[in-house]
Amino acid sequence: MHLRRLLFLGVGVLVASLASAPNLSAHGSDGQMEEHEARVPNYGAVIRIVSPADGYVCPAGMDFEVCVELEQFTLVQDGCHWHVSVDGEPWSMIMDDRLNEVLHGLQPGEHRIEVLLADGEHRDLEEGDAITVVVR
Ligand SMILES: [Cu+2]
């Protein structure tokens, strides 16, 4: 459990650094920053959260699993993968062929869980899916 936690934190740091790197060029000399990185069109690719349902209530301290289904998108091929964000911040990245991701350690309260398809350069596709969960 402790090791999994450490691995998870490691992935989180990796995600954070990968997610912030493309933004460096977006900082203008006038201090302005683009609100979002450029996203890529879906071209028919779909990611959909199949569970939990929107509005799911998760007991505090429990992990829960987000499961997705995909259409017209092949994981791993050309580096294709998917991203999970929580409350607008990168949370984790699924680089293998899994269609599920266990979320650990969400603080009590309401959280927006968003999933987005990503290309081999970690660019999000425009259309993802999102649910709100409540931890209490
Ligand atoms: Cu990525």
**pLDDT digit string (tens) for 8-60?**
444 444 444 444 444 333 343 343 444 556 899 999 999 999 999 999 999 99
pLDDT exceeds 50 at position 101: yes
Q: Residue 18, class by beta-carbon neighbours within 10 Å (0-12 exposed, 13-18 middle, 19+ buried)?
A: middle
Residue among 100, 91, 98 at smallest CA distance from 19: 91
The number of beta carbons lying within 10 Å of the beta carbon of residue 134 is 14
Q: What is the mean pLDDT of residues 97-120?
A: 97
pLDDT at 36: 57
83 CA distance to ligand 1 middle (Å): 6
Per-residue pLDDT at 114:
98
Q: What is the mean pLDDT of the chain?
A: 83
For residue 10, report the distance from its CA to the centre of ligand 1, in Å: 14
- From its phi and psi, is residue 41 left (phi > 0), alpha (psi between -120 and 50) or beta? beta
Centroid of ligand 1 to alpha carbon of 124 (angstroms): 8
Handedness of CA 85, 91, 95, 98 (dihedral sign): negative
| Predicted confidence band of residue 124 (pLDDT cuts 50, 70, 90) | very high
Assess contact for 87 and 112: CB atoms under 8 A: yes
A 10 A CB-CB count for 10 gives 10
The hierarchical CATH code for the domain 38-135 is: 2.60.40.10
Amino acid identity, position 105:
G
> What is the Å distance from ligand 1's center to 82 Cα?
6
pTM over the 0.75 mark: no
Residues with CB under 5 A from ligand 1 (ion): 93, 118, 122
